[in-house]
Amino acid sequence: MSERIGSGSGEPTETVDAEAVREFAESFHGTVIRPADEAYEEARKIWNGMIDRRPALIARCSGTADVVAAVGFAREHGLPLAVRGGGHNVAGSAVCDDGLVVDLSEMTGVFVDPAARRARAQGGATIGDVDRETQLFGLAAPLGVVSATGIAGLTLNGGVGHLRRKYGLSLDNLVSAEVVTADGRVRTASEEENPDLFWAIRGGGGNFGVVTSFEYRLHEVGPEVFGLFVWHRGDSEEALRAFRGYAEGASRNASVLPFYAVVPELEEFPEASWGDPAVAFLGCYDGPVAEAEAEFRALREFADPVVDFSGPMAYTDLQSMLDADYPDGLRYYWKAVYVTELTDEVLGLVRRRGAGSPSPLSTVDIWHLGGAIGDVAPDATAFRHREPAFMITFEANWEDPATDDENVAWARDGITELGDLPVSKGAYGNFPGLGEDPARLLFGENYDRVVEVKATYDPENLFRLNQNVAPSA
């Protein structure tokens, strides 16, 4: 007898033997959730409210053995396979229609060895989970800028955070990883073991398997750092030019993210400024307060700010400062392109496109890169784009489903215009839109080697619900 499993909103497209499903669920130590289960509707939701998919099975794993079982079940029964980490999946690839979701969201353990300055974190952990444990010892792994972000996708695709210019990308601080590959084997990926796989997962996203744990190199950070968070009104061109001048001589101890935004209607901001266009500077200085004050003076004092929240603060407070701006269920569409220079044309585009956003929640961001990111050779990991000094992202964030098309078009059109400029190149895997662009944009001249590793570890392309690299023949 077969059990028809599928979307639940129409005719199911897959059939699986009912006894096989029962045996799988009974042997599973976590929870197998099916469309008829009470928990299903909540379990299938992900952070991006745009995504509405109905998987056949959700395998909420308790550990690596469950991951092996779930990957094997999907492979044996020909089911599409999606992998869900700890949170913040912009493209929606963490859930699929009519397939099996390997859900790591309950695998959140973080284990710190302060003497070795290492931390091992399970694949469902968030940045906040890691920071909570590592800051007990005055240590940190260079991760992202929103604590609710899952470490898995963040690290596998790059990882730009408040420590990026001093300590590099998240993937640059990865020492080893435990990976369940398509054949169901549990492999260690490191410089010593399976080095080809280790090369590929650092930038190759989820193309090669399910990463069940990450071992990070830690650095002395905190418990306090100097946080930069200042909002400027009026002539945003002046603010962006001030940043361009600052960036030319910026310290590696500092990482700054300017963004074009609208002043939010919050009591922390003067009511007279609510709804006005603004340029905000968000950043971190890991060093003495006096040095930080001097470093950021040019960005704080070139004009009277709307507000200035800058100053010494707990590292964990800086890491969670933006959490409320990215709630579960909001609608998100993010895209990015690298630029080698902040020309007048680039800055003008940021201002013009930022002012034209259909949603007051959207931003156009300029990530200052360089520093330690550029110290790594472009072919040392699958992550290729080491040379550009900046990355510009269009974050379309909105509430009303009726405005989906115009918000998506705003981000796409802005990135298209930006990508046509001679100073632009490439794409970033953590801001992929809905994954519609070719993966070659991510990897550049590393693409052929990525394909070779894909063919070695996933020749049947089981892990294809991502910015997919098809294995070679």
Residues 6 or more apart whose Cβ sits within 8 Å of residue 350: 240, 260, 364, 366, 392
What was the pLDDT predicted at 3?
A: 43
Q: What is the mean pLDDT of residues 296-300?
A: 97
Q: Does the pLDDT of residue 16 top 90, yes or no? A: no
Burial label, 181 (beta-carbon count in 10 A; 0-12, 13-18, 19+): buried
The span from the CA of 175 to the CA of 197, in Å, is 13
Tens-place pLDDT, residues 40-55? 999 999 999 999 999 9
Q: Please tell me the least confidently modeled range out of 3-17, 265-279, 348-362, 433-447.
A: 3-17
Tens-place pLDDT, residues 124-137? 999 999 999 999 99
Q: Does the pLDDT of residue 359 top 60, yes or no? A: yes
Using DSSP's 3-state secondary structure scheme, residue 157 falls into helix
CA angle 270, 276, 280 (to 5 degrees): 80
Evaluated on CA atoms 285, 287, 292, 294, the torsion sign reads negative
Number of CB atoms found within 10 A of residue 416's CB: 11
Residue 15 banded pLDDT, cuts 50, 70, 90? low
CA nearest to 6, candidates 70, 55, 78: 55
Residue 99 banded pLDDT, cuts 50, 70, 90? very high
Question: Cα dist. 131→72, 109, 138, 457 in Å?
Answer: 33, 12, 10, 32
Instruction: Please tell me the pTM assigned to this model.
Output: 0.95
Q: Does the pLDDT of residue 375 top 50, yes or no? A: yes
Residue 381 banded pLDDT, cuts 50, 70, 90? very high
Q: What is the mean pLDDT of residues 303-328?
A: 96
Looking at the chain, the whole-number percentage of residues with pLDDT higher than 90 is: 94
The one-letter amino acid code at 25 reads A
> What DSSP designation does 150 have?
B
Q: What is the mean pLDDT of residues 45-67?
A: 97
> What DSSP designation does 126 have?
B
CA dihedral 132, 134, 138, 141 (to 10 degrees): -110
Q: Does the pLDDT of residue 283 top 90, yes or no? A: yes
Strand partners, 425: 338
Q: Does the pLDDT of residue 179 top 70, yes or no? A: yes
The span from the CA of 417 to the CA of 413, in Å, is 6
Q: Does the pLDDT of residue 14 top 70, yes or no? A: no
The domains located in the chain, with CATH, are 2-103 (3.30.43.10), 110-221+446-457 (3.30.465.10), 224-425 (3.40.462.20)
Tens-place pLDDT, residues 142-163? 999 999 999 999 999 999 999 9
The encoded tokens of residue 123 equal: 């694949």
The one-letter amino acid code at 217 reads R
Q: What is the mean pLDDT of residues 280-297?
A: 98
Q: Does the pLDDT of residue 448 top 80, yes or no? A: yes
CA angle 91, 94, 99 (to 5 degrees): 120
> What DSSP designation does 432 have?
B
CA angle 216, 220, 224 (to 5 degrees): 120
Q: Does the pLDDT of residue 203 top 90, yes or no? A: yes
Q: Does the pLDDT of residue 89 top 90, yes or no? A: no
Q: Please tell me the least confidently modeled range out of 58-72, 193-207, 235-249, 278-292.
A: 235-249
Give the HSE-up count for residue 45: Cα atoms under 13 Å, Cβ half-sphere: 10
